[in-house]
Amino acid sequence: MRPARFSVVTAAATVAALTALTGCAEKSDGKGDGAITVTATDKSCEVSKTEFPSGHVQLAVENKGSKVTEVYVLFPDGRIVTERENIGPGTKATITAEIKAGDYEIACKPGMKGDGIRQQVKATGGAAPAKRSPELDAAVAAYRTYVQQQADETMPKVKVFTDAVKAGDIEAAKKAYADSRIGWERTEPVAESFGDIDPKVDVREDGLEAGQAWTGWHKLEKALWQDKKIGDAEKKLADTLLADLTDWNKRVGKAEITPTSMANGAKELLDEVATGKVTGEEERYSHTDLVDFQANVEGAREAFTLLEPVVKVKDPALAKQLNTEFNALFDLLEKHRVGKDEFSFVSYDKVSQADRKVLSDGVNALAEPLSKLAAAVAK
Name the residues that contact another protein, by CB under 8 A. Answer: 260, 321, 325, 357, 361, 364-369, 371-372, 374-375, 377-379
Nearer to another protein, 4 or 378 (CB): 378
Give the per-residue SS3 of 312-357: HHHCHHHHHHHHHHHHHHHHHHHCCECCCCCCCECCHHHCCHHHHH
Q: How far is CA 10 from CA 107, 147, 188, 258, 370, in A?
A: 25, 16, 13, 9, 19
Minimum CB–partner distance for residue 57 and another protein (Å)? 31
356 burial type by CB count under 10 A (0-12 exposed, 13-18 middle, 19+ buried): middle
Minimum CB–partner distance for residue 352 and another protein (Å)? 12
DSSP bridge pairs for 117 = 108
Nearer to another protein, 14 or 364 (CB): 364
Residues 39 and 175: their CA atoms lie apart, in Å, by 50
Nearer to another protein, 272 or 325 (CB): 325
**How many Cβ atoms sit within 10 Å of the Cβ of residue 254?**
18
DSSP 261-314: HHHHHHHHHHHHIIIIITTT-TTTTT--HHHHHHHHHHHHHHHHHHHHHHHHHH
Nearer to another protein, 70 or 325 (CB): 325
How big is the CA angle at 71 (ends 66 and 75), to the nearest 5 degrees? Answer: 150
Q: How many helices (H) and strands (E) does the chain have?
A: 11, 10
For residue 46, the SS3 value is strand
Minimum CB–partner distance for residue 113 and another protein (Å)? 38
Nearer to another protein, 167 or 313 (CB): 313
Nearer to another protein, 116 or 189 (CB): 189
Nearer to another protein, 142 or 329 (CB): 329
Minimum CB–partner distance for residue 325 and another protein (Å)? 6
Minimum CB–partner distance for residue 378 and another protein (Å)? 4
Minimum CB–partner distance for residue 313 and another protein (Å)? 17
Nearer to another protein, 113 or 131 (CB): 131
Q: How many residues does the chain have?
A: 379
For residue 142, the SS3 value is helix
**How many Cβ atoms sit within 10 Å of the Cβ of residue 294?**
24
Sheet holding 55-63, edge to edge: 20-22, 92-99, 55-63, 36-40, 45-47
Minimum CB–partner distance for residue 366 and another protein (Å)? 8
Minimum CB–partner distance for residue 316 and another protein (Å)? 17
For residue 364, the SS3 value is helix
Minimum CB–partner distance for residue 98 and another protein (Å)? 27
Nearer to another protein, 243 or 378 (CB): 378
> For the chain, how are helix, strand and coil distributed in percent, rounded to 5?
50, 15, 30
How big is the CA angle at 214 (ends 12 and 269), to the nearest 5 degrees? Answer: 50
How big is the CA angle at 20 (ends 76 and 126), to the nearest 5 degrees? Answer: 60
Minimum CB–partner distance for residue 134 and another protein (Å)? 20
DSSP bridge pairs for 61 = 38, 93
Nearer to another protein, 189 or 369 (CB): 369
